[in-house]
Amino acid sequence: MFFRVRHQKMVHVYLVVLVILGMLVVLGAMIAYHALLREQNFQIEAAVAKLVNGNSKYQHFDSSASQNRQNSVMILEEQKPLVIYNRVPKTGSTSFVNVAYDLHSHNAFRVLHVNVTGNSHLLSIYDQYRFVDNTTRWTRPAFYHGHFAYIDFEKYGYKRPYYVQLLRKPLDRLVSYYYFLRYGDDYRPHLVRKKHMDSSTTFDECVERGGSDCQANLLWLQIPFLCGQSADCWYIIMPNMIPGSEWALQQAKRNVLEKYTLVGITEQMGEYLQMLELVIPGGMFRNASEHFKHSSKSHLRKTAKKYPVSRKTIQKFHESTVWQMENELYAFVTREFAFAYAKQFPNVSSGLAGTKKKNVKISDLSPPNFRYEKIYPKPSQQKKKKSTAHVQ
């Protein structure tokens, strides 16, 4: 009896122990399961965070690639230049322009003549804006030419184009224009000019008589063309229309240095075209100098007849303030162009000093006199950084 009761108590104890153990096992399993869920949750959160961070990096790379594409587009646009040639009359401009007309098809650009009403060299404020807006928005690359004074694109909020210009010795230009009005030229030899009936009067005789179309004030043209559309560029006293402004001369010089891409001289048009081949992008003037050298159109509009000017006439003009200012601008441009040409072709004389010139071609250019160094980040580091970003 005693052993039976004791056996029953032991069974009860074992049962209790088994229940407790079972409860502990279940509790441990629940704890382990909960821990597993937490671990998985942490892994999911980490994966999401990594995915988000990865996307931001990829977005960064995508934006960089997009920026690179935009830069490429910008570079391509820069290869489509807008060139403005506000040509001064009787400076060899027809010969220069015909080089552009001859090359436009081969070098893939447009040539457009700007015909200003009434042969005026000035435009109204609104016409200036319309011209700036039209030329900026229309198809490029393009070469615009016409007899008008410099127009400041930046004044109207537009990017400055490539302005180019040619100047000639002031008195030579006026004498050429004087005889051009009387005898015409070889470009349109049968056209009767407005001064044809006065063809018997030489320039010297006109100066001696005080004629209206051989006055020193008529030299005042190259300065205002480079100065611009301001009243002070053209006349020093209004409304008497008296030319000869010192301010206009200095403004023209500033524009030569700051606004024009390249200003050359008629007497060195071949060298000028060589320089344009280098500084105008997109190959607009590719082979221009060689074409000019061998083309039959290289020297168009040569005045049909001219008489040499006497020393007395030359001296009289040299004493005038207008000639002195115009000649100062011409001498300034001559020096600047000779300096630029000598730096570009150091082994070739520009011909200004009377030395013998060497026949030079653009293909003979020497390597650049500068190099890039100490470049950071280094290409190897940049490549490693990029590959690391993709791995993460």
Catalytic residues: 145, 147
Closest CA to 85 of 20, 43, 144: 144
Residues 6 or more apart whose CB falls under 8 angstroms from that of 231 comprise 238
Element (H, E) at 112: strand 110-113
Q: How would DSSP label each residue in 265-296?
A: EGGGHHHHHHHHHHHSGGGTTTTHHHHHHH-T
Q: Determine the Cα–Cα distance for residues 277 and 269; give it in Å rounded to an integer.
A: 12
CA separation (Å) from 377 to 69, 373, 385, 387?
Answer: 21, 12, 10, 15
Q: Determine the Cα–Cα distance for residues 349 and 357; give it in Å rounded to an integer.
A: 5
Closest CA to 108 of 132, 72, 145, 143: 143
Crossing angle (nearest 10°) for helices 2-78 and 379-391? 140
- Beta sheet of 82-86, edge-to-edge order: 110-113, 142-146, 82-86, 162-167, 260-265
- Ranges of beta strands (E only) in 229-383 are 260-265
Strand partners, 144: 84, 112
Q: Determine the Cα–Cα distance for residues 143 and 146; give it in Å rounded to an integer.
A: 10
| φ and ψ of 224, to 5 deg | -65, -30
The answer to whether residues 330 and 263 touch, using CB atoms and an 8 Å cutoff, is no
Q: Determine the Cα–Cα distance for residues 229 and 152; give it in Å rounded to an integer.
A: 9
Tokens in use for 179? 């005889």
